[in-house]
Amino acid sequence: MFGDYVREIKKAYRGMAKVYHPDKGGDGDRFKEINRAHELMQQWIENPKFQLNNKLPGCWSYNGYTNRWSPPLWQ
């Protein structure tokens, strides 16, 4: 089941990369955002401790220990 998520993330990333890659006529800034998001997802998959200590900028996050939502971090 976990492998399904990894494959789904990879498939979505490749699809977005094809659309937004600057060499294919896409937006370079958007492509950088997509790459950064993919890097963060990879870190979350590979390192469970990363999940406990990091939040995505601009996104609400849920703390399972306190059963509370935390407001977004802003860059």
50-65 per-position pLDDT tens digit:
655 566 667 777 777 7
Q: Is residue 70 included in any domain, yes or no? A: no
Q: Is residue 62 included in any domain, yes or no? A: no
Would the pLDDT of 74 be above 60? no
Burial label for 40, CB within 10 Å (0-12, 13-18, 19+), is middle
Per-residue confidence at 75, pLDDT binned at 50, 70, 90?
Answer: very low
The domain containing residue 51 runs over which residues? 2-55
Distance CA 23, CA 59 (A): 30
| SS3 call for 57 | strand
Q: Which amino acid is at 12?
A: A
pTM of the model: 0.60
Distance CA 71, CA 57 (A): 10
Q: What is the pLDDT of residues 9-34, one digit of tens each?
A: 899 999 999 999 999 999 999 999 99
Q: Is residue 7 included in any domain, yes or no? A: yes
User: Regarding beta strands 61-63 and 68-70, do their DSSP bridges make them parallel or antiparallel, or are they unpaired?
Assistant: antiparallel
Number of domains in the chain: 1
